[in-house]
Amino acid sequence: MVSRRIVETAPPGVEYSVSAIGKSMSEPLGVLAQWAAQQLPSILAAQAQFDARPEGLTHTDAADLSDYDTVTVRD
């Protein structure tokens, strides 16, 4: 994804650039970023709901987490 080239200078240097494979990721990452932006309200609501769970509740308390599996987003 990244090309590295040693530059014969004093002191020695290194140049980095995006490789062809890295450049090919531009479109898929753009689609992912757009999806994440569209899902942000749901993501933030789920995070707030998780943060509001009772003190001491851990991921091992699976039965107690059943109320936190579904998030409703209201506009």
- Does pTM surpass 0.75? no
- pLDDT band, very low/low/confident/very high, at 70 (cuts 50, 70, 90): low
User: Residue 66 and residue 27: Cα distance in Å, rounded?
Assistant: 37
Q: 50 and 68 in contact (C-beta within 8 Å)?
A: yes
Give the per-residue pLDDT at 72. Answer: 55
Which residue in 38, 18, 36 sits closest to 26, CA to CA? Answer: 18
Quote the tokens at residue 11: 């002191």
pLDDT of res. 22? 94
Cα separation, 51 vs 74, in Å, equals 18
What pLDDT is stored for residue 15 in this prediction? 96
Cβ 7 vs Cβ 15: under 8 Å: yes
pLDDT tens, 19-64? 999 999 999 999 999 999 999 999 999 999 988 888 776 665 555 5
